Amino acid sequence: MADPGMNPGLRVSGLDVSLGGRAILRDVDFAVDPHSTLAVIGPSGSGKTSLLRALAGLGGRANGAIEVDRRRVDALPAHRRGIVYLNQEPLLFPHLDVRGNIGFGLRLRHRSASRIAVVVDPLVAALGLQGLESRDPLTLSGGERQRVAFGRALAVDPAVLLLDEPFASLDPATRLSMQTLFRQVARDRGITALFVTHDLKECLRVGDQFAAIRDGRCRVYPGRAAFCADPANGVAAEIAFWSDAGTSLRRE
């Protein structure tokens, strides 16, 4: 929950999002603490991606205030918001190798090769990509590609990082390791992030703060306990399921 004395990294007030004339989200209000991750859960088609796209300035009609580090950005084009959007699909540039992809944002800022290396090398190490720097992105595994995309986003030191179910297409083991890696890197680097997912366990693993999107509304919870206590989020049902499964296994 946002500390009232602290400036939020990201504050959204009275945001309405519509797409093709159809209202998707109404009156969205939330604040993400600096260096925290707001995990947003919602079923498919609930408007999670529309919310992220509106925050990033990527189309759709959005009315309302979006502040990043107390600076209004809702009237700015995407490239000037300081908000990086990480797609569900890594979308690595096929004409660049792994190192080129990670350093892409710095190249946009006309950084010298040596300054790019200063940023990229530690990221390569932190994300476990050593030895893959010169590889063609198309030869990487799904998890490796997602790590490169994550590194590319981190390299520009974004004010806010938006993650749109980035691990949804990975196998369960890789997905778990990516969630752990995200938590570790987000903590180490003080990332302010908004992570949307339809997976309850992922939501609980990656989030510091929690929200749910349903019926065009975004409900923000005062803490993990409040989020888990809301039956609509399915935590109680999940616990009951595993409890029953455990009982059945013991009987067998």
The one among 4, 94, 131, 172 contacting other proteins by CB under 8 A: 94
Contact, 15 vs 66, CB < 8 A?
yes
DSSP notation for 55-104: HHT-SSEEEEEEEETTEE-TTS-GGGS-EEEE-SS----TTS-HHHHHTH
Taking the least distance from each CB to other proteins, the nearer of 56 and 204 is 56
Task: Output the CA torsion 103→109→114→118 (10° steps).
Answer: -60
Piece of the chain touching other proteins by CB under 8 A; list 16-24, 62-70, 78-86, 221-229: 78-86
Nearest residue to 10 (alpha-carbon basis) of 130, 160, 150: 160
For position 81 contacting other proteins by CB under 8 A, the verdict is yes
Helix (H) or strand (E) holding 195: strand 193-197
* Sites for other proteins among residues 27-56 (CB under 8 A): 56
For position 131 contacting other proteins by CB under 8 A, the verdict is no
Taking the least distance from each CB to other proteins, the nearer of 102 and 220 is 102
Piece of the chain touching other proteins by CB under 8 A; list 13-21, 60-68, 135-143, 202-210: 135-143
Contact, 186 vs 193, CB < 8 A?
yes
For position 9 contacting other proteins by CB under 8 A, the verdict is no
Determine the distance from the C-alpha atom of residue 52 to the mean position of all C-alpha atoms in its chain, rounded to a whole number.
9
* Sites for other proteins among residues 136-155 (CB under 8 A): 137-142, 145, 152-153
Q: Which residues bind other proteins (CB under 8 A)?
A: 56-59, 77-79, 81, 83-85, 87, 89-95, 104-105, 107-109, 137-142, 145, 152-153, 156, 162
